[in-house]
Amino acid sequence: MQGRPTSTRRRFLGLAGGTAVIGALPVAISVRPVEATPETMASAIRTVTGGANVQTGRVKLDIPPLVENGNTVPMTVTVTSPMTATDYVKSIHVFNEKNPQPNLGNFYLTPRAGRAQVSTRVRLADTQKIIAIAKLSDGSLWSATADVVVTLAACTEEVI
């Protein structure tokens, strides 16, 4: 007898809360800037790789698969490498598909890093694919990809 009204009340409160949250979000998604496209990402990748073959593996891209707020998304890239003077990771490049421009970050390492790992926080404008490419001292290129679902996009809100 008691269960039903309570659950209705709870549902009502839940709904009301949900609406309030939506109301509090920045309403304006009116002006969307030009998106980077998979093609601009491909051309940005080409400037790094020079068209050389990129192999899959050795790179680990840690990024949450579901992101509530695209304005700060923690991201860690780790590359398996002994990091010795003759065999090390020269640079790590991270790209995205759908932000206004295709770069997320370039990181340049030396053998003195000891461990080829970098962390940062990025903005993501949309649900999209992220790709990390590592350039090794022997010239080989390795990559990892990750798909990220973004609920609240970065970059699109208006400034008052």
Partner 1 sequence: MPSALINVPKKARNGDIIEIKTLISHIMETGYRHTTSGQVVPRDIITSFACRFEGDEIFRADLFPATAANPFISFFTVATKSGKFDFEWIGDNGFSSTASATITVE
The least distance separating partner 1 from the CB of residue 29, rounded to whole angstroms, comes to: 11
The least distance separating partner 1 from the CB of residue 1, rounded to whole angstroms, comes to: 52
Decide whether 73 or 144 has the Cβ nearer to partner 1: 73
Decide whether 53 or 96 has the Cβ nearer to partner 1: 96
The least distance separating partner 1 from the CB of residue 103, rounded to whole angstroms, comes to: 5
Where on the chain is the footprint of partner 1 (CB under 8 A)? 28, 31, 33, 71-73, 96, 99-101, 103-110, 112-124, 154-160
Decide whether 152 or 155 has the Cβ nearer to partner 1: 155
C-alpha dihedral sign at 96, 99, 103, 107? negative
Give kind and range of the element (H or E) at residue 4: helix 3-24
The least distance separating partner 1 from the CB of residue 19, rounded to whole angstroms, comes to: 23
Q: Which of 52, 67, 85 is nearest to 127 (CA)?
A: 67
